[in-house]
Chains A and B, each alone.
Chain A
Amino acid sequence: MKDDGVPDGAELARLIGLVATERDRQAYARLYSYFAPRLNAFLRKSGLPPNTAEEIAQEVMLSVWRKASYFDPTRAGAATWIFTIARNLRIDHLRRIRTAAASEDEQGEVETAPSGETLLLTAEREARVREALKTLSAEQATVLRLSFFSEKAHSEIARELGLPLGTVKSRVRLALGRLRVLLEGHS
């Protein structure tokens, strides 16, 4: 843990480990106070009404408690793992309101055999992605951030950057191309 009280990736992973093995409620409280308000903001940003965003943020945090033993630091960092839980619960929620039948399926579960090197590779990937995001120009970071949140965000990007809507799609591609160059350049 750093001096300012903001836990870093290793500390967050350690807290999830404590929740998994010790059912440690103090560790859970720290995870909750760090992630719940961010999840709440994130889910609002992705277009959910405030009440729903808070409900799903709560659901995500309950999943963190229940599924802590599924967290595998060789596959994803703590924030990335929690992000994918939020993404899946958001998809489930949107499908539930569209069709009566709710799904328990999780998107993107692909079998991979972890090796001794994967923990290092995962940490390296998390660092590389964060470094690349910092290196993007302000406009490209905005384009990427907004396009990550929702389909509707294309019009939001257009408004925010004062661009015609038709230009936005190519800007998204340019931003992604730049991100790709940065990601490959560091690997």
Chain B
Amino acid sequence: MTIRHHATDETLMRYAAGQLPAGPARVLAVHLGTCPCCRSRLAEFEAVGGALLEAMPLAPMAPDAFAAALRAIDAQPDDAAAPPLARARTKPATPASLPGGVPLPAALRDCEIGPWRWVGLGVRASTVRLPEDRQARLTLLRVGPGRKLPEHGHVGTEFTQVISGSFSDGYGRYGPGDLSEMDQEIEHQPIVDPEGECICLAALEGSMRLNGFFGRLVQPFVRI
């Protein structure tokens, strides 16, 4: 998979810093799962975090804090010698694959994938619920081949990760693995390429910013 559209430095920095909201963070996690280039850039921003941590002035802990830490350690069974285990997760009803036999990205395996519903214009949508944030708005979209979407702008940034198929807009062609970050000031008109339907994962940043095209589409399915 040749990835041509990557996360911006700003988004990677915010993800590294823990500042990206849960929905966009998952879209980026799916991208990172397919993109070694962005993984390595993320590692750089995490190293920035390490460097900033080391450069902090000291804010002393309470005088008995270290003694309290030792007491907490003694009070707990020591399991550090045990080999790292995959944590057992409560598995929601999640299909192993998406329509058309497309594998579900690993970064979505602990999510609850809702049923596909028509939202008009040759578009079907499925709501993705995150275990860590039930309020997060994340949507899988299936858009039919050749579908031209109305031109639209955004109030917040729209993060769209292509899982299968492709679409094009004035800024390029987005294929499997590509990430599109559309800023509020940008107007764009995505057209799904004629070869087949396009499945993508989309999240809008911000809780009340549903004016983007995908936002308007999925609005009926999102609790506000």
B224 at the A interface (CB under 8 A): no
Q: Does A156 contact B (CB under 8 A)?
A: no
Interface SS majority for chain B: helix
Q: How far is the CB of B76 from chain A (nearest CB, A)?
A: 8
A45 and B56 contacting across the interface, CB-CB below 8 Å: yes
Docked complex: A34-57 residues within 8 A CB-CB of B: 35-42, 44-45, 50, 53-54, 57
Given A61-B69, A179-B9, CB of A107 within 8 Å of CB of B18: yes
Q: Which residue on A lies nearest to B110, using beta carbons?
A: A105
Judge whether A115 is part of the interface by a CB distance below 8 angstroms. Answer: no
Q: Assess whether A129 is in contact with B51, with CB atoms less than 8 Å apart.
A: yes
From 171 to 185 in chain A, residues with beta carbon under 8 angstroms from any chain B beta carbon are 172-173, 176-177, 179-180, 183
Given A57-B61, A104-B87, are A148 and B17 also a contact pair (CB < 8 Å)? yes
Measured in the bound complex, the distance between the Cα atoms of B52 and A62 in whole Å is: 21
The bracket for how many chain B residues form the interface is: 35 or more
Q: Which residue in A41, A61, A62, A83 is a CB contact (below 8 Å) of B49?
A: A83
Q: In the complex the two chains form, what is the Cα distance from A61 to B42 in whole Å?
A: 24
Query: With A38-B58, A99-B135 known to touch, is A69 a contact of B51 (CB < 8 Å)?
Result: no
Convert B79-90 into 0s and 1s, putting 1 for each residue whose CB lies closer than 8 angstroms to a CB of A.
111011001000
In the complex, chain A residues whose CB is within 8 Å of the CB of B61: 36-37, 40, 54, 57-58
Interface residues on A, range: 35 or more
| Given A45-B56, A88-B18, residue A62 in contact with residue B72 (CB < 8 A) | yes
Q: Chain A contacts of B48 at CB under 8 A?
A: 129, 133, 144, 148, 179
- Interchain CA distance A104-B89 in the complex, whole Å: 9
User: Which residue of B is nearest A25, CB measured?
Assistant: B70
Residues of chain A lying within 8 A (CB to CB) of residue B188: none
Q: Are A79 and B51 in contact, CB atoms less than 8 angstroms apart?
A: yes
Enumerate 27 A-B pairs (CB-CB under 8 Å) in ascending A order.
A20-B80, A38-B56, A41-B58, A45-B56, A57-B61, A62-B69, A68-B80, A69-B83, A76-B46, A82-B53, A87-B16, A95-B22, A95-B133, A105-B110, A107-B15, A107-B25, A108-B32, A110-B32, A111-B106, A112-B36, A122-B43, A130-B51, A144-B48, A148-B49, A176-B10, A177-B9, A179-B9
User: A interface vs B, CB < 8 Å?
Assistant: 20, 23, 25, 29, 32-33, 35-42, 44-45, 50, 53-54, 57-58, 61-62, 65-70, 75-84, 86-88, 90-91, 95, 98-99, 101, 103-105, 107-108, 110-112, 122, 125-126, 128-130, 133, 144-145, 147-151, 172-173, 176-177, 179-180, 183
A-B interface, 4 closest residue pairs, ranked by CB to CB distance from nearest? A80-B50, A103-B132, A79-B50, A41-B59
List chain B positions with a Cβ less than 8 A from chain A.
Answer: 9-10, 13, 15-19, 22, 25, 29, 32-33, 36, 39, 42-44, 46-54, 56-62, 65-66, 68-70, 72-73, 76, 78-81, 83-84, 87, 106, 110, 131-135
Given contacts A38-B56, A111-B106, 9 further A-B contacts (CB under 8 A): A23-B78, A42-B53, A45-B56, A66-B79, A70-B84, A101-B131, A110-B32, A149-B17, A180-B9
